[in-house]
Amino acid sequence: MSARKGRVLASEVLRKKLLSGLESVPDGGPGFDRAWRVAFARAARDMMKLPVDFVALKQVRMSLAEVLDLPSERALIFMLEGPEDGLGLLILSSDLLSVMIEVLTMGIVAQQPSDPRKPTRTDAAMLAPLADLALRNLEDALAEEADLVWTSGFHYGSFIEEARSLALLLEDMPYRAVTAKVSCAQGARVGEMQLILPAEGRGRKPKLKARGVPASVAGPAFTAALTARVEAADCPLQAVVGRMSLSLLDTMRLGVDMVLPLPSARLDQVSIEGLDGRQVALGKLGQHRGMRAIRLLDAVSQASSGGALMGSGAKPNENTAQAWGGEQGAHVVDNAQQGGFAGDLPTLSVAGGEDFPAMDFDFNALPATGTE
Structure confidence by residue, pLDDT tens digits, 154-168: 999 999 999 999 999
Enter the DSSP assignment of 276: T
- Per-residue pLDDT of 285-317, as tens digits, reads 888 888 888 888 855 554 344 433 343 333 434
What are the C-alpha distances in Å from 61 to residues 64, 196, 229, 273? Answer: 10, 9, 52, 67
- Scored b (16 or more CB within 10 A) or e, 63-74 reads eeeebeebbeee
* Model confidence at 193: pLDDT above 90: yes
* Model confidence at 131: pLDDT above 90: yes
- What pLDDT is recorded for position 6? 53
Fold held by 32-198: Chemotaxis protein chec (3.40.1550)
- Report the alpha-carbon distance of residue 367 to residue 330 in Å, rounded: 38
User: Is 0.85 topped by the overall pTM?
Assistant: no
Average pLDDT, the chain: 75
* Closest to 346 measured CA to CA, from 272, 305, 295: 295
- What pLDDT is recorded for position 217? 54
pLDDT average, residue stretch 258-284: 84
Looking at the DSSP bridge assignments, the partners of residue 58 are 179
Domain boundaries, the chain: 32-198, 238-365
- What pLDDT is recorded for position 338? 41
- Per-residue pLDDT of 87-98, as tens digits, reads 999 999 999 999
- Per-residue pLDDT of 204-225, as tens digits, reads 888 765 555 555 555 677 778 7
- What pLDDT is recorded for position 342? 38
Percent of the chain with pLDDT over 70: 69
More confident residue, 10 or 351: 10
- Report the alpha-carbon distance of residue 37 to residue 138 in Å, rounded: 9
- Per-residue pLDDT of 30-49, as tens digits, reads 588 899 999 999 999 999 88
- Report the alpha-carbon distance of residue 128 to residue 180 in Å, rounded: 19
- What pLDDT is recorded for position 58? 92
**The dihedral of CA 200, 38, 78, 83: what is its sign?**
negative
At 297, which amino acid appears? L
What are the C-alpha distances in Å from 56 to residues 7, 78, 161, 342? Answer: 55, 21, 27, 83
Rg, Å, the chain Cα set: 42
Terminal Cα distance for the chain, rounded: 39
54 Cβ contact list (under 8 Å, min separation 6)? 37, 40, 41, 180, 181, 182, 183
- Per-residue pLDDT of 222-239, as tens digits, reads 778 788 888 888 888 888
- What pLDDT is recorded for position 319? 42
